[in-house]
Structure 1
Amino acid sequence: MNESMSVWALWLPHIEAVVIRLTVAIIILLIGWGVSVLAGRAVRKLAARSSRVDPTIVPMAHTVTVWAIRIIVLIAVLAKLGVQTASIIAMLGAAGLAVGLALQGTLQNIAAGIMLLALRPLRAGESVSVVGKADGTVEEVGLFLSRFRQADGTQITLPNSLVWGNPIVNLSRNGSRRIDVQVGILYGQDIVQALQAARSLIESHPLVLDSPAPAVFTGESRVSTVVIVVQAWARAGDYGALLNDIRRDLPSRLQEAGFKMPDHAYGPAAGAQGA
């Protein structure tokens, strides 16, 4: 019995030390994890309050802030438990190199995401076309993926490398856009009068901007047809509405003025511009 008590007395300080270290490590972990969550929320709140912060970079800034704090916390916990963190950091570096070689595509997505955020060819809320991949409104550019809301309400997610590696057409970055509509009339009619009828339609439309000035002119000649070309500028948000109105009203206006039109009045460029 005395021997058992002496053994217990010998090990008791070590057990107490281990329990204390473990308790402190758990406390550090819980506090650090909570701090990382609060820091992530603070980043989002600060970004929401400032008009100078681009919403596109907020998700990535949130992720980097949270996990930077968590990695520091984990290293502190291991150090408190008596683990040699220097060797762990070296091992993590070697493991990171191996993982990096194995996940080159993922690293490409991260690098592409950084380039997208640095050069900003697209931003959250803008309407863009990633040629051959997606068309829609930018919802988020993350660390690995970019999300877009398409015109039909569906969401499409692309790896950042695909977005960065393809031409990006930004449809809303500039304040105004130009519509181009072509319509044909049969030969032998008064071209000047046709141009005047088309111009009266454009100049009376409330969505057409005065500057740059709209233009109406004759385009290429086709078999038995003279092409009337209408160009007009509208605010970026009004582009689709103006394009639809001119496509609908221009043939009617010419027919009301007495002009005869071929079976296929529109030229191929009439639908070339997307909204």
Structure 2
Amino acid sequence: MDILNTTTVPLSDITLEKVVLAAIIAVIGWIVVRVLISAFTKALSRASNLPGLVLEFLVRFFAILLYVVLVLVVLATLGMDVSSVVLGLSAVIGLILGFGLQDTITNLAAGVWVAAIRPIDKGEFVEVNGISGTVTAVGIMATELLKADNTYITIPNSLVWGSPVINSSRMDTRRVEVKVRIAYDSDLNLAIRVATDLMAAHEAVLSSPGPAVVVTELGESSIHLALRAWTKTPDAGRVKGDLTRDIVGMFKEAGVEIPLPQMDVHLNGTE
């Protein structure tokens, strides 16, 4: 009589023969898994230019899958019914994928709409969800922006499609606005003439529509003015910077005061 076939593990129907066979399969399987992982890693590295993070993720996913298969084979060798385990794992994996792919599918659908409608395009300066930058790529899953400080931003397409998009590059011309305050005792008409002449003299400011100066607010201690000038879109940043810088000197020469913020404090004397 074969001792291995007749001797069983206490409180179970597993024979020692099955235990030995499962142990041998586990050792051999572990070696095979390590070889397969190494071969998969080398093949993937040679055959693609995937980023290191993506490569590491794929290798780990492949390794986990192989180890799960190995565990199921060992359990089946011991005589256990692994069908329920497989069904349970399938349900868990399906649930995880369902939740995990929900955002992926949303971003994919949004990417299709962004590509079709084109609210933004490569090379345009836009503001999306409060983030401003130049569009460097519009992918099927995400949009990539390069900010003015050379910061690289990746925005999911669902946010691009689901948020207001301010496109500062789409039109050929833009209106720039420079806000400035003057004192109440300054000559308002003189300030308007000086600001208008400053804008008209700038070589990048368009004559049609012509530049304008408007009173936007009567503040507590100053009159608020807005210098509005039209220019070609590529010149907008330079024009705004020049006007902001030069209006200070022009007002100073003309005797127009730019006041500092003031606060009147009244103290009631007590005896």
The TM-score, its normalising length taken from structure 1, stands at 0.57
Give the % identical residues: 41
CA distance in 2 between partners of 1:139 and 1:178 (Å): 25
Aligned partners of 1:178 and 1:232 also within 8 Å: yes
The TM-score, its normalising length taken from structure 2, stands at 0.58
Give deviations 1:101-134, integer Å, cap 9, x for gaps.
Answer: 75111111110000000110000111111023x2
Q: After alignment, is 109-118 or 211-220 more displaced?
A: 211-220
Counterpart amino acid of residue 144 in structure 2: R
Aligned partners of 1:213 and 1:233 also within 8 Å: yes
CA distance in 2 between partners of 1:99 and 1:166 (Å): 26
Q: Which residue of 1 aligns with 2:174?
A: 177
Give deviations 1:223-252, integer Å, cap 9, x for gaps.
Answer: 232223211011111111111111111121
Counterpart amino acid of residue 219 in structure 1: T
**2:148 is aligned with 1:151:** yes
**2:206 is aligned with 1:209:** yes
CA distance in 2 between partners of 1:264 and 1:224 (Å): 7
1:174 Cα deviation from its structure 2 partner: 0.6
Give 5+ residue unaligned stretches, structure 2. Answer: 1-47, 49-92, 263-271
2:158 to 146, 161, 164: 161
Aligned partners of 1:100 and 1:107 also within 8 Å: no
CA distance in 2 between partners of 1:164 and 1:219 (Å): 34
Q: Which residue of 1 aligns with 2:185?
A: 188
Q: Which residue of 2 aligns with 1:120?
A: 118
CA distance in 2 between partners of 1:158 and 1:261 (Å): 42
- Give the greater-gyration-radius structure (CA): 2
Give 5+ residue unaligned stretches, structure 1. Answer: 1-36, 38-94, 266-275
Q: Which residue of 2 aligns with 1:24?
A: none
Residue correspondences, number: 171
Aligned partners of 2:221 and 2:261 also within 8 Å: no
1:173 Cα deviation from its structure 2 partner: 0.3
SS in 2 for 1:263: coil
Question: RMSD value over aligned CA atoms?
Answer: 2.4
1:90-105 pair list within 5 angstroms: 103-105=101-103
Q: Which residue of 2 aligns with 1:262?
A: 259
Any runs of at least 4 consecutive aligned residues in structure 1 with deviations exceeding 3 A, and if so which? 98-102
**2:263 is aligned with 1:233:** no
Aligned partners of 1:179 and 1:231 also within 8 Å: yes
